[in-house]
Amino acid sequence: MERRVSTVALHASSSELPRIFERGEVAIVVDEQRNVLGILTKMDLIEMLARRPQIG
């Protein structure tokens, strides 16, 4: 199985993630020197959004 990946900066906006995940990619989080800090998946984003406080 082949997996596409994109890199994303540590302090990048979370609004970038849905576009990456729509393409079926995972996001590799990197620092300013492009050292790998972690991996984010679509499921990570879903879990993060589910834990957000509800407004209203």
Q: What is the pLDDT of residue 1?
A: 65
Q: Which of 33, 27, 30 is nearest to 14 (CA)?
A: 27
Taking the C-alpha atoms of 29, 51, 42 and 15 in order, what is their torsion angle to the nearest 10 degrees? Answer: -60
**Model confidence pLDDT, tens digit, residues 12-55:** 887 888 888 888 889 999 999 999 999 999 898 889 888 888 77
Return the domain boundaries, the chain.
4-51
Q: What is the pLDDT of residue 23?
A: 87
d(CA 28, CA 4): 10
pTM over 0.85: no
> What is the CATH T-level fold of the domain 4-51, as seen in this structure?
CBS-domain (3.10.580)
